[in-house]
Chains A and B, each alone.
Chain A
Amino acid sequence: EAGVAQSPRYKIIEKRQSVAFWCNPISGHATLYWYQQILGQGPKLLIQFQNNGVVDDSQLPKDRFSAERLKGVDSTLKIQPAKLEDSAVYLCASSRAGMTHSGNTIYFGEGSWLTVV
């Protein structure tokens, strides 16, 4: 099966500009995650969707970050305006809903690398 697709892979922007990242999860996966991974750290969950509803966005800086998953499939993460500290890899991931043995394994995309200068 096809994996989690993300685009663009690399983006360089100036501070105060805006950027958007797109993610298409594995077909049939109801749960979609956006993680921010700063160099040298583990991924930090920004937002988690279950179908098209938000399950957890407690660590999303809502003054500048927004995300949507309107039809319960693909998702967009936007940053506006960007700050230097937003330089990171933005990882999209998906998993099946439910409590089957393989249901909660998270599958990751290759990430979108953002550099803010």
Chain B
Amino acid sequence: AQTVTQSQPEMSVQEAETVTLSCTYDTSENNYYLFWYKQPPSRQMILVIRQEAYKQQNATENRFSVNFQKAAKSFSLKISDSQLGDTAMYFCAFMKRTNAGKSTFGDGTTLTVKP
């Protein structure tokens, strides 16, 4: 069974600064995907960024980038130039790379961007 751990329940950052959210996972699988999702108060989960485990290059999406360390089973999210609209809960998720991969989520990190 897979587990996903987000050790930072809450974080805050000043607007325009950079913040890093941590995520570790445990699995015996070799092929999988990792995701970061954003959940604003409306509760709709929105995909921020995804990483395929077989790719060594870290994924980037505009101000969002990840540091994927496969051997350490670590998958952190870096948000650069933080904006007030980045305030939300962020969830790290794991999905097996099979035809119908099961997904597992961490318990989330609440990020507050301060003006």
- B44 surroundings in chain A (CB, below 8 A): 108-111
The reply to whether the CB of B35 lies closer than 8 angstroms to some CB of chain A is yes
Interface range on chain A: under 10, 10 to 19, 20 to 34, or 35 or more? 20 to 34
Q: A42 near B35 (CB under 8 angstroms)? A: no
Given A108-B45, A109-B44, residue A98 in contact with residue B99 (CB < 8 A): yes
Given A105-B47, A105-B50, residue A42 in contact with residue B105 (CB < 8 A): yes
Produce 1/0 per residue, A3-14, CB < 8 A to B.
000000000000
Q: B106 near A42 (CB under 8 angstroms)? A: yes
- B93 surroundings in chain A (CB, below 8 A): 106
- B101 surroundings in chain A (CB, below 8 A): 104
Contacts between the two chains (Cβ within 8 Å), count:
65
Given A109-B44, A110-B44, A111-B44, residue A104 in contact with residue B102 (CB < 8 A): no
- B71 surroundings in chain A (CB, below 8 A): none
The A35-84 residues at the B interface (CB cut-off 8 A) are: 35, 37, 40-45, 48, 50, 55-56
A97 vs B98: C-alpha distance when bound (angstroms):
9
The reply to whether the CB of A33 lies closer than 8 angstroms to some CB of chain B is yes
Per CB-CB distance, the 8 closest pairs between chain A and chain B, nearest first, are A42-B105, A108-B45, A50-B100, A42-B107, A110-B44, A111-B43, A55-B100, A43-B105
Can you offer 9 A-B residue contacts whose CB atoms are under 8 A?
Answer: A37-B43, A40-B107, A43-B91, A48-B102, A99-B98, A104-B101, A105-B47, A106-B35, A106-B47
